[in-house]
Amino acid sequence: MRICGKHIDTGEVVTVDVEAGRIAAIVPGEHAADLGAPDLWLAPGLCDVQLNGYAGRDFNIAVWGRQGGIEQALREIRGLLARTGTALFCPTITTNSREAICESLAAVARALDADPALARSVPGIHVEGPFIAPEDGPRGAHPLEHVRDPDWDEFQAWQEAAGGRIKIHTLAPERPGALPFIERLAAAGVVVAIGHTAAEPEEIRAAVAAAATMSTHLGNGAHSMLRRHPNYIWEQLADDRLVASVIADGHHLPPSVVKCIARVKGPDRLVLVSDAVSLGGLPPGLYTEGRHEVHASGKITLAGTPYLAGAGHLLDTCVANALRFTDLTLAQCVSCATANPARLLGLADRKGRLAPGYDADLTLFRLPDEGPLEVAATLCGGERVE
């Protein structure tokens, strides 16, 4: 297959040869191609490391009113994501009972074992919770009845159910037993992320010393009112060892906050995530027996309140917003959703770059003056996903 477009890093028109699922060569100029055009940007396929569900589908058992169907949800969401430029994603399993988490993970694993094309789109699973802060604010929308302390035996049961695919785990480092748990996770090759936390600054520092390397949706899953300083947001911002993920959907963080986080972390320590939930992409209205509302803007709230209840936009919106909110270039914003997630997951030697030898996970898009990226095509492993 041959693909033509403007190289995201240089702006020069190139033609990419794809063989056996990888980039075989990149040649300057426009040549006869199977896909693309000189006016389309050509970039690595976007990678979303935090995605709970979308368009009525969910990866979690008994969440948002769903009881199952995870295998079908994975296949359908893969196609929906591809239409918005996302080639790779980490299904995110959230706070629930031990049994429900294991059941959700096992369902994801079965789907990936049964479908090699689907498996190519899933570089790992993200578990967010249940070892998080119980307080309102830091806990976010996670159910209080299932919040608990870290348990290594429980995590091993999850990993067994997942077929070893858990690659990111978000937790609150102030929970009893969290520090040795973090050390064991890191030793097992799992990215440890700080999130949904009410930790004191010294507890953040201790978590990083124990091998935490990421902040999950920094600025969200937090108290609505914080002391001026010190606090857990400043502490995570200041630590260069922590990569920060942010939800740049225009609802979770004001543009000025996204800009500040981007300036402090820089283009190499920022990861754009959607954190989308199953209500995302649905028509405006009330859902889950009237408990949640989807607004015309895509914003999702607890019905009748200003409180967010999940994210409703995907990375095509977040990348475009990051460009408009920050000082970053288009190439840098794309890198925050391609190269940086690949590096986080330990895949930087084969994913996240337009270079010979790299996996042909690719996205072709136009950048409009407003709104999300206009995606023309998305490939994963050299195959177009539709």
The secondary structure of 167-220 as a DSSP string is EEEEE-TTSTTHHHHHHHHHHTTPEEEE-S----HHHHHHHHHTT--EETTTTS
| Contact present, 96 and 63 (Cβ < 8 Å) | yes
In this prediction, residue 166 carries a pLDDT of 98
Domains and CATH numbers, the chain: 1-44+354-386 (2.30.40.10), 45-351 (3.20.20.140)
18 φ/ψ sector (left φ>0, alpha ψ -120 to 50, else beta): beta
**CB atoms closer than 10 angstroms to residue 241:** 11
d(CA 355, CA 115): 27
203: tokens are 């507890």
- pLDDT tens for residues 234-249? 999 999 999 999 999 9
The neighbour count for residue 296, using CB atoms within 10 Å, is 8
pLDDT, position 225: 93
Task: Say whether pTM exceeds 0.95.
Answer: yes
CA 204 → CA 129, 238, 265, 376, distances in Å? 17, 11, 17, 42
Name the token pair of 78.
Answer: 């893969």
Strands, sheet with 383-384, edge to edge from the N-terminal-most edge strand: 22-28, 13-19, 2-7, 35-44, 362-366, 374-380, 383-384
Q: Residue 113 CB: number of other CB atoms within 10 A?
A: 11
> What is the predicted pLDDT for the residue at 64?
56
Contact 216, 193 (CB under 8 A): yes
Decide if 149 contacts 175 (C-beta within 8 A): yes
| Helix, strand, coil percentages in the chain from 3-state DSSP, rounded to 5 | 30, 25, 45
Residues lower than pLDDT 50 in the chain: none
What amino acid is encoded at 168 in this protein?
Answer: I
Measured distance CA(88)–CA(74) in Å, rounded:
12
pLDDT, tens digit, 9 for 90 and up, residues 291-341: 899 999 999 998 888 888 889 999 999 999 999 999 999 999 999 999 999
